[in-house]
Amino acid sequence: MSKVPADLKYTKTHEWLRTLPDGSIEIGITDHAQHALGDLVFVEVPDVGRSIKAGEPCAVVESVKAASDVYSPVSGEVTAGNPQLAGAPETINTDPYGGGWLMRVRPAAGGPATELLSPAEYEKLQQEEGD
């Protein structure tokens, strides 16, 4: 069973969200997602300052097997892309909820967000998908 930290929100497309003290949102992919992808070998994160829309692909994670898009759950402006992942993409495999974060976004006021799941709801989704 993959880890689902209780202090995060989740999406149906296997991203996680953490609200940081300054109000920005940190985004990554879940333990379930990294496990399904396998060994990650390349990660492309968005440039700082890029304006992104909820539901649109904003990062790419590539394992040995395949490339997958990561969808932003919120609209806003990118304030950081994780610089460590260029040299160490496997950080997502070893620490998906910590050092493996992908990007930070300052959410647009009142901007649309995709439907977010609680930890319990996300665990249920994983079970349905046969984790």
Partner 1 sequence: MGRQTPLYQLHRELGARIVDFGGWDMPVQYSSQIGEHHAVRRAAGVFDVSHMCVVDLKGARVRPFLRMLLANDVEKLVRPGKALYSCMLNESGGVLDDLIVYYLADSWFRMVVNAGTRDKDLAWIRQHAREFDVGILERTDFAMLAIQGPEARAKAAKLLGRVGAATALELDTFVGREIEGWFIARTGYTGEDGFEVMLPAADAARVWRELNALGVASCGLGARDTLRLEAGMNLYGNDMDEKTHPFESGLAWTLAMEPGGTTGARNFIGRQALEAIKAQGSRAKLVGLLLEDRGVLRSHQKVLVPGLGAGEITSGTFSPTLERSIALARVPQGTGQQVQVDIRGKLLAARVVKPPFVRFGQALVK
Q: Are 59 and 45 spatial neighbours (Cβ–Cβ below 8 Å)?
A: yes
Q: How many residues can be counted in the chain?
A: 131
Place of tokens 């709801």: 121
Q: Per rule CB under 8 A, is residue 129 in the interface with partner 1?
A: no
**Is 40 strand, coil or helix?**
strand
Tokens of 35: 């496990």
Whether 18 and 26 have beta carbons less than 8 Å apart is answered as: yes
Is residue 38 within the footprint of partner 1 (CB under 8 A)? yes
DSSP state of 115: P
Judged by beta carbon, residue 3 or residue 35, the one nearer partner 1 is: 35
Stretch that binds partner 1, among 45-53, 55-63, 104-112, 113-121 (CB under 8 A): 55-63
Segment near partner 1 (CB under 8 A); pick from 1-9, 19-27, 40-48, 118-126: 40-48
101 vs 21: CA distance, rounded Å: 16
What whole-number distance in Å separates Cα of residue 77 and Cα of residue 49?
A: 6
- Given candidates 50, 55, 62, 79, which one binds partner 1 under the rule CB under 8 A? 62
95 makes contact with partner 1 (CB under 8 A): no
**Which of 20, 48, 86, 120 touches partner 1 (CB under 8 A)?**
86
Q: Which stretch binds partner 1 (CB under 8 A): 10-18, 21-29, 65-73, 117-125?
A: 65-73
Residues at the contact surface with partner 1, assessed by CB under 8 A = 38-39, 41-42, 44, 60, 62-67, 86
